[in-house]
A and B are shown apart, each in its own frame.
Chain A
């Protein structure tokens, strides 16, 4: 072979840098978008919290007044104390219920096991605002069905339950998040090899000793991480404190932020100071939770082997566990939906009675379907849900490709930044984005675009999760063999990566569509006349006292979400099986 004059091909020269590879354009655009969405609003929120409001007459000035106002007042400490009580209480209730159910499902022979998994999708199907409204109809002192039934049974006027109280808030929120606890603890129980417990038994330990010395220390990280997640969710929740707390003056951070913005003149500086505090709380929670999870993986509970979980025969006790489960199912699914359905069939809200039964009507459905804002709200919701889901899934597919498949320096940082919106409570994110586009005159404030930005930011971490799970399963050689076949980066991404990502891509897409349709806490600070979405419409109906119309809309929304969730699960199964 001749060794003289090796020819350098045109491609080789190109690779030396004279021709720019267009793939970097896509990568840079996605990275820039992620950084912009995740970091800039946070910066503006912090900045705003240290400045006076900007007006035409006066430029913004540095001040600590917002924090002084926020922390000097006794109210704030009440606020802090309320939030702490509320979030801790709700987290514990959710945890106790969820753990009991998970244990019943995983480790005992309680009947109706099939129903248990229906639980996991309940929070997706019944949005927080509808769940809260339903529980108002069930537990309010005057019209609450629970009170009325108990009053009739015991023949008194005493109020048995009152959701308009701290305990009511804790109960409703805790109940709403209990399926999350159920899923988290189910995972923990599943990840634990029964052989670890069995070997303790073989070593001569008694059942309490096993529980105390083996089971508990092993699931302890999972327990603590779950409680932290639930605490963060509860401290972020807006619907329950707003609907149940505000009417009786029980304020927590989220409702206080909402009120500070909606006061006249609105106190955005104060809201920012409160939001910064809230953000601090959630960040600490998320940080410890992630530390715990990563340490938890060091425990030998995950063997990756399929083991058959050992179930305890409860004997006669299983009637009790069945009863507990059915009561729970009643409280979380049947009663809320039934009361909404009942209310949606009345001309004016009336408690169930034979007389009311004779006055069943479809009028609320007629009213709501001809409601002036309905068509526009539905259209906006669909537009936002489909738009944000599509953008999120495509952008995060590139982001997670960078994180999982490349060796670019700083890719872990990119992963963390893209997950940053996780710690933003919806309301705080809404506030931050509102502030940003008040100052940034690019004409998105007051349009539907600002809501699209908010949705994309808020749900980006979920898209990233779904894509990452799928991406990790794609062997790098599948990509390399495409390169060896002569495919460019674009071709490889379009024809190999995206099709292989399809299961995660689709599941994530539907998930984002679902959570976008129910989104309330960011939208409530960002919508303006003309850009209402379905959840805002429900909110407005509540404020107007149009309960029956609200119920009619709620029933239809729940049915729609139910269909979407079924579709998601069907797709998941279909692709899950095919990929296996």
Chain B
């Protein structure tokens, strides 16, 4: 549905310097799917989204929506002719219009606008979809944050766009509301089956909502994959670190064992998984998520087992965070609160080789 190929977008910064915001960005979003651009601020995700919208003019590449080229080296369709729906970070609700007028605007400015009656029906329907049916005549500024967010969504949906663009739509809401809107948004997207590009810096939002995620850093895409792939098989240290938290261990490859590799790490010999082919003696980084380290007070058998000392523990209610010293290293571990080992006591660690991912150095 949406194909972005080799997209490069620059902009001129505050002090006149040229910033390469998007560098050779390529991805493909199948119809009906929700695709997320995830990354820290300044990684180029918003610039990429705005290039798709037509609000930024790229330097090179091609953007295709359905079968229409909306941008290539000799084509630039202005944003008001692309027919895409967009929800802005600030919602951009026009304060001088009512809720109804806001949502009706895209229909009223359309070239082939329908009759008054048609517009009224469509707007009423879309307001009902986002649960604002009773607020139509209210002044837009009188809405709460969550309601404004839904109105922005209604306005983006009312012209039945081929593609919906969402620019950090939940970032201005408080934590509780954000969680509720996350489910709401997911339900709506799945029900309407509308192809969506979603921009966020919040990894849990990305994991919860997306069919597919592109993690961006420094203007480039680091990895594209399903939420599970991104989380469990990160391609590099940046992705592993940005999506969730992780322990990183330096290691040298010793030998291959089927799908696994045997390595010598900072804390000793390990059996690990790798998505790439590794050479013997190659220096790699092993990523292990805190929740993938099993802790127990009794000695364990099998691969990847160590003995350590509890350095620090933080009780969080649903879980306990331990910092355990193994040799010279301190490792973050997350475990069930039933483990009551005290600080300075001995604890045993075990890591499933499936969950220890070897990352190539670049």
Which chain A residues have a beta carbon within 8 Å of chain B's beta carbons?
Answer: 1-3, 5-9, 11-13, 15-16, 407, 475, 477-478, 480-488, 491-492, 495-496, 499-500, 502, 579
Specify the chain A residue showing the minimal Cβ separation from B109: A487
* Nearest chain B residue, comparing its CB with the CB of A10: B81
Report A-chain residues with C-beta under 8 Å of the C-beta of B68.
Answer: 6-9, 12
Judged by a CB distance under 8 angstroms, whether B3 is at the interface is: yes
What A residues does B78 contact at CB under 8 A?
11, 15, 483
Q: How far is the CA of A492 from the CA of B78 in the complex (A)?
A: 13
Q: What 19 additional pairs, Cβ within 8 angstroms, besides A6-B67, A480-B53, A487-B106? A: A1-B67, A5-B67, A7-B68, A9-B68, A11-B78, A407-B12, A480-B79, A480-B86, A481-B88, A484-B156, A484-B165, A485-B80, A485-B159, A486-B106, A486-B109, A491-B109, A495-B105, A500-B94, A502-B96
Contact of A487 with B31 in the complex, beta carbons under 8 Å: no
**30 A-B residue pairs with CB within 8 Å:** A1-B3, A1-B30, A1-B66, A5-B67, A6-B64, A6-B69, A7-B69, A8-B75, A9-B68, A15-B77, A475-B90, A477-B89, A477-B92, A478-B92, A478-B94, A482-B105, A483-B54, A483-B55, A483-B78, A484-B86, A485-B80, A485-B159, A486-B106, A486-B110, A486-B159, A488-B109, A492-B80, A495-B105, A500-B96, A502-B96
A478 to B152, CA, bound (A): 11
Inter-chain contacts of B338 with A (CB < 8 A): none
Closest chain B residue to A407, Cβ basis? B12
B85: Cβ under 8 A from any A Cβ: yes
Indicate whether A481 sits within 8 Å of B159 (C-beta atoms), given known contacts A7-B67, A8-B75, A488-B80: no
Look across to chain A and name the residue whose beta carbon is closest to the beta carbon of B152. A481
Interface hub of A3, A475, A477, A478 (most chain B Cβ within 10 A): A477
CA distance A480 to B155 in the complex (A): 13
The one of B53, B90, B95 that contacts A579, using a Cβ cutoff of 8 Å: B95
CA distance A483 to B12 in the complex (A): 22
Contact B76–A480 (Cβ < 8 Å):
no
Assembled-state Cα–Cα distance A9/B1 (Å): 16
Bits for B164-202, please: 1 = Cβ < 8 Å to A, else 0. 010000000000000000000000000000000000000
Most buried by B among A2, A16, A484: A484
Residues of B within 8 A of A1 (CB): 1, 3, 28, 30-31, 66-67
Residue from A15, A407, A487, A500 within 8 A of B76 (CB atoms)? A15
* B92/A483 in contact, CB under 8 A: no
Q: CA–CA, A237 to B111, complex, Å? A: 55
Are the CB atoms of B159 and A12 closer together than 8 Å?
no
Task: Give chain A residues whose Cβ lies under 8 Å from the Cβ of B67.
Answer: 1-2, 5-7
**A486 close to B83 (CB less than 8 A):** yes
Are A484 and B80 in contact, CB atoms less than 8 angstroms apart? yes
Smallest Cβ distance from A483 to chain B, in angstroms? Answer: 4
| Pair B95/A500 contact, Cβ less than 8 Å | yes
Q: How far is the CA of A492 from the CA of B109 in the complex (A)?
A: 9
Whether B333 is near chain A, meaning CB under 8 Å from some CB there, is no
Q: Which of the residues B81, B90, B152 comes within 8 Å of A11, measured between beta carbons?
A: B81
Interface magnitude class on chain B: 35 or more
A487 near B89: Cβ-Cβ < 8 Å = no
Residues of chain A within 8 A (CB-CB) of B159 are 485-486
* Chain B residue, CB-CB nearest to A9: B68
* B77 surroundings in chain A (CB, below 8 A): 9, 11-12, 15
| Chain A residue, CB-CB nearest to B158 | A485
A5: B residues at CB distance < 8 A: 67
Task: Identify B74's interface contact among A3, A16, A486, CB under 8 A.
Answer: A16
Complex: chain A residue closest to B54, CB-CB: A483
> A-side binding surface: helix, strand, loop or mixed?
helix
B347 within 8 A of A: no
Name the B residues within 8 Å of A477 (CB-CB). Answer: 88-92
Q: Which residues of B contact A482 (CB under 8 A)?
A: 80, 94, 105, 109
Query: Residue on B with the closest CB to A580?
Result: B141
> Closest residue to B76 on the A side, CB-wise?
A15
Residues of B within 8 A of A478 (CB): 92, 94
Which residues from B are CB-within-8-Å of A500? 94-96
User: Do B75 and A484 touch across chains, with their CB atoms under 8 A apart?
Assistant: no
Complex: how many Å from CA A256 to CA B94?
54
Nearest chain B CB to A41 CB, angstrom units: 33
Q: Check B75 against A485 for contact (C-beta < 8 Å).
A: no
- Give chain B nearest CB distance to A580 CB in angstroms: 10
Q: A480-B55, A480-B88 are in contact. Are A486 and B96 (CB under 8 A)?
A: no
- Report the Cα distance A496→B155, complex, angstroms: 15
Q: Is B251 an interface residue (CB 8 A)?
A: no
Complex CA–CA separation, A5 to B55 (angstroms): 25
Q: Across the interface, name the chain B residue whose C-beta is closest to A499.
A: B96
Residues of A within 8 A of B1 (CB): 1
Question: In the bound complex, do residue B80 and residue A483 qualify as a contact, i.e. CB atoms below 8 Å apart?
Answer: yes
B65–chain A nearest beta-carbon distance, Å: 10
Known interface pairs A8-B69, A502-B96; A485-B81 also in contact (CB < 8 Å): no
Residues of B within 8 A of A487 (CB): 80, 105-106, 109
Q: Which residues of B contact A2 (CB under 8 A)?
A: 67
CA–CA, A12 and B71, complex, Å: 8
Is B253 interfacial (CB-CB < 8 Å)? Answer: no
Contact with A along B21-43 (1 / 0, CB 8 A): 00000001011000000000000
A78→B28 CA distance, assembly (Å): 80
Closest-by-CB residue of A relative to B85 is A484
Give the residue name and chain of the B residue nearest to A13 (CB).
B75
Is B221 among interface residues, defined by CB-CB distance under 8 A? no
B155 touches A485 (CB 8 A): yes
Interface residues of B in 95-129 (CB under 8 A from A): 95-96, 105-106, 109-111
Q: Does B84 reach chain A (CB closer than 8 Å)?
A: yes
Closest Cβ of chain A to B156, distance in Å, is 7
**What is the bound-complex CA distance between A579 and B64, given in angstroms?**
40
Q: Is B70 an interface residue (CB 8 A)?
A: yes
Do residues A16 and B106 form an inter-chain contact, with CB atoms below 8 A?
no
- Is the CB–CB distance between A481 and B155 below 8 Å? yes
- Contact residues in B for A488 (Cβ distance below 8 Å): 80, 109
Q: Which residue of chain B has the shortest Cβ distance to A2 in the bound complex? A: B67
Nearest neighbor of B2 in chain A, beta-carbon distance: A1
Give the distance in Å from the alpha carbon of A477 to the alpha carbon of B166 in the complex. Answer: 13
| Bound complex: CA A408 to CA B186 (Å) | 40
In the bound complex, do residue A475 and residue B75 qualify as a contact, i.e. CB atoms below 8 Å apart?
A: no
- The 0/1 profile, CB within 8 Å of A marked 1, for residues 307-336 of chain B is 000000000000000000000000000000
Q: Which 5 A-B pairs have the closest CB atoms?
A: A485-B106, A477-B92, A481-B92, A477-B88, A484-B86
Q: Give CA–CA (A555, B63) in the complex, Å.
A: 68
CA distance A8 to B91 in the complex (A): 31
A407 to B12, CA, bound (A): 9
Q: For residue B12, which residues in chain A have a CB less than 8 angstroms away from its CB?
A: 407
Residues in B neighbouring A502, C-beta threshold 8 A: 96
Residues of the A chain whose Cβ atoms lie less than 8 Å from the Cβ of B92: 475, 477-478, 480-481
Give CA–CA (A480, B93) in the complex, Å. Answer: 11
A15 to B54, CA, bound (A): 12
Chain B residue nearest in CB terms to A409: B12
Min CB–CB distance A469 → chain B (angstroms): 17
* Min distance, Cβ A129 to any Cβ of chain B, angstroms: 40
Residues in A with CB closer than 8 Å to B94 are 478, 481-482, 496, 499-500
The residue among B54, B78, B156 with the most chain A CB atoms within 10 A of its own CB is B78
B84, closest chain A residue (CB):
A484
